[in-house]
A = this chain, B = another copy of it.
Amino acid sequence: MQNDTQGFEVITPSAPLNINTHGGRAKCLQRLIRLDMPVPRTVALSFQTVHEIAEGHLPDTAAIMAGFGDAPIVSVRPSSEDPDWGGPGAILNIGMNDLRHAELCAEHGEAVADALYLRFIQAYAVHVARLDADVFDVINPEDDGALRDVLNAYEDETDESFPQDPAEQLAQVLRSMARAWEGTTARLLRQAKGAPVDAGLGLVVQEMALGLGAGECGSGVIQFIDETTGQKKIRGRYLSQSQGRDALTEGEGALYLTRDPRGPSMEETCASSFETLIRYGDATRQRLREEMEIEFTVVDGGLRILDAVRVPRTARAGVRVAVQLANDKIISREEALMRVEPRALTELLHKQVDPDGDHPTILQGIAASPGAAQGRIVFSATAAQASAAREEACVLVRRETAPEDIRGMHAANAVLTERGGMSSHAAVIARGLGLPCIVGANEMRLKSKDNTLKLPDGRILREGDMITVDGATGRVLAGAAPLLEPALDEVFQALLQWADDVRDIGVRANADTPADAVIARRFMAQGIGLCRTEHMFFENDRLTVMREMIFADTREDRAAALERLLPMQRADFTALFDIMQGQPVCIRLFDPPLHEFLPHSREGMRELAGALDLPMSQVTRRIEALQEFNPMLGMRGVRLGVTVPEIYEMQARAIFEATIDASENGDPIVPEIMIPLVSAKREVELIKTRIDAIASEVKTLRNAEFTYRLGVMVETPRAALRAEEIAPHTSFLSFGTNDLTQMTYGLSRDDAGRFMGDYVRQGVFAEDPFHMLDIDGVGELLTIGAERGRAANDEVTLSICGEHGGNPESIAFCRKAGFDYVSCSPFRVPVAKLAAAQLRLIDDGVQ
């Protein structure tokens, strides 16, 4: 009986094995043994033992081998804490030597004996003795004299004959595996996958079930789900007279497992082993509570189970497996929630490029908004709209996008830009619209003059050419690649519902349009946390009126122009209220600088001069006067509200009138009005006074009652620092983490693209702060703002509504800081809900 003081442990149902001392494979094998499966004798070496081996202290390998009988033939496999961390490959047939070869020749014939010995010598030469793989791999095991050739080659390369002592063979194998694990490359690779610095390697030494020899012998692999969809389905292969995973890699001659018209199946040829495997599959699912892939060997018609690993799977398969396990009461709903990585949900919400397709990649950019779409290339927003009018799918290709392009983006099926990063205009808007988007594809050359796009390989694409945009990977494919549909099935809905039952922080959606709002409802968002109103002024008929307003010289003229926008705005809000059916809708008042609404080109200015019947000089003068050095830090948001009060007044009126209309149709509405870019208390007081006055006026005129909530978007560091004096005037504080990040870092998200890559690579920033909330800096301002806001007004609702809203890290932060809800792009709502549920479960001790 060996014991741990010798550094190894025979795996028995009661052996003291743990994942964090002996690794996952050792533990799993013990579980299989406990399920009474026919697992060959296996010895486990602990992390500690393997670490000592690497340092030169070998265990008694003769004693280990002795445990396997007089003529031991064994395999060694790695057993780390997490199979993703990698590790050395398995080595089979240790113990083969000239003597065993001769015995096996007698027992099973020369072919079998040669194959077993050859396999071992090749693996040993390359992986243990570190000889040149080219020398050994070229030798075909089926050639006559192959074994002799290999033995000669070994002697030539080493000046020694091949080691014959099984204990010595094992010692060398163990040492080489232990050292490989501690090598620099392996360490860096596993650390990149999240392994700790001191991650250990265990090893398992298992008696070989040969898979070769008399009677039905062979090896195979079986699993019980489709790894792409998660649907129940038996998949795998079996190959007679083979070892290890040969059935998968050497397809020729392998059998299907279940009956199949394409060829013979194990179900037919080894019916009883097959049935046993089905039973084992069920047992592992029930008792290991996971979908496992089982590695087995048939020895003279009898089944051996060598190993079992979790089936690798796509995100959508992962969701289905977790939900099915819970529905079958094998795991709890809480555990099902914990098993799905929130970010993986994104994959389910969008079409995907079918991984089985073979359309070539023609361009690579930054994957800025997930999903895949096909369409014909267009180079302008106008062309995109024309294309949409013809009901023809198109992809909008631009150097970069600007607010003027929004209508074109709405009309396009996907967006591709040459410039920009994850936080560029194109990326942010596309994510908001749920539109596949690739940005920063800077290897292409756009020639706007002749409407062509030059690919890195020199080919030219023109308007009308069909391409496929894969926003999940950043790849552009030639032509119309086949796509998989989104997976918003009952399984997905169930998971979302369970998350809703568990989580303790609200999740709303950022939604600017009825289309966004419909998506928000579909994902059961608890209202709209940020409705940006500026896009509403870009639609064709409105833009003209908007420009008239900008060119008006008196308060009266401005008000008259806005009067014409009022019914359109009212209709916008009524539509949103109707869709949201009484859920809260938080409307941000007009935010961008006015110059965004004016043309930039001479031609556009000439058109505008014509439309407004003004001299060209007056148009250019006004446009020049409105230009800004740093628009982000300029005359926008509440500053516009204070100095040009008519815009906010019109918007407030539209909101209140829509509130009355929508409340008559259905659930009563309590609109939320949010003031952007506040930096001083007095700004809030001024706007509040005016909006209160409009509310009274509308109530009187319409003879109706309603309530509304006024709040502040905290986007400047100063607003966070002064939250204590701002909060008493407001019902809510919603932190706009995009702008707050820009100002805290002094970094424009539109301009950061040029160096953000460099910065993250050099570790200057651990992450792109527009992508991942900067807890240290921006986070401190959120904490300060939240604490001071609450201290001054314990009723104040706290939330974040920036791009970060949907990130698990931000949600964790907001939960801790006592925020009431997060708001994110509609397509991030499921991610946010699941992340929130997991955080709650972790707090409750569910692992």
Contact = CB atoms under 8 A, between A and B. Distances in A.
Contacts of A683: 764
Given A745-B718, A777-B721, A750 B643 contact: no
Contact of A716 (B746, B754, B765): B746
A758 B679 contact: no
Interface in A708-754: 715-718, 721-722, 739, 742-748, 750-752, 754
Contacts of A718: 744-746, 774, 777-778
A759 to B, nearest CB: 7
Interface stretch (A325-333, A408-416, A545-553, A630-638): A630-638
A794 interface: no
Contacts of A746: 632-633, 677, 679, 715-718, 739, 743
A75 B744 CA distance: 65
Nearest to A626: B754
Interface string A669-688: 00000000101101100100
Contacts of A763: 682
Contact of A755 (B635, B750, B759, B774): B635
Interface residues of A, number: 48
A731 B742 CA distance: 28
Interface in A608-643: 628-635, 639, 642-643
A837 interface: no
A51 to B, nearest CB: 33
Given A642-B755, A721-B780, A748-B633, A680 B764 contact: yes
A754 B635 contact: yes
Contacts of A755: 635, 639, 642-643
Nearest to A758: B643
Contacts of A747: 633-634, 679, 716
A762 interface: yes
A453 interface: no
Contacts of A717: 717, 743-744, 746, 777, 781
A501 B737 CA distance: 49
A776 interface: yes
Contacts of A686: 762, 764
A722 B764 CA distance: 14
A548 B759 CA distance: 25
A629 B722 contact: no
Interface in A693-720: 715-718
A755 B636 CA distance: 10
Nearest to A628: B751
A169 to B, nearest CB: 50
B634 A751 contact: yes
Contacts of A742: 633
A85 to B, nearest CB: 27
A215 to B, nearest CB: 66
A817 to B, nearest CB: 16
Given A717-B777, A759-B642, A780-B721, A748 B679 contact: no
A540 B778 CA distance: 42
A628 B628 CA distance: 12
A201 B653 CA distance: 50
Contact of A629 (B716, B743, B750, B781): B750
6 contacts: A628-B750, A633-B746, A633-B747, A680-B764, A721-B744, A721-B777
Top 3 A-B pairs, shortest CB-CB distance: A633-B748, A634-B751, A630-B748
Interface of A: 628-635, 639, 642-643, 677, 679-680, 682-683, 686, 715-718, 721-722, 739, 742-748, 750-752, 754-755, 758-759, 762-765, 774, 776-778, 780-781
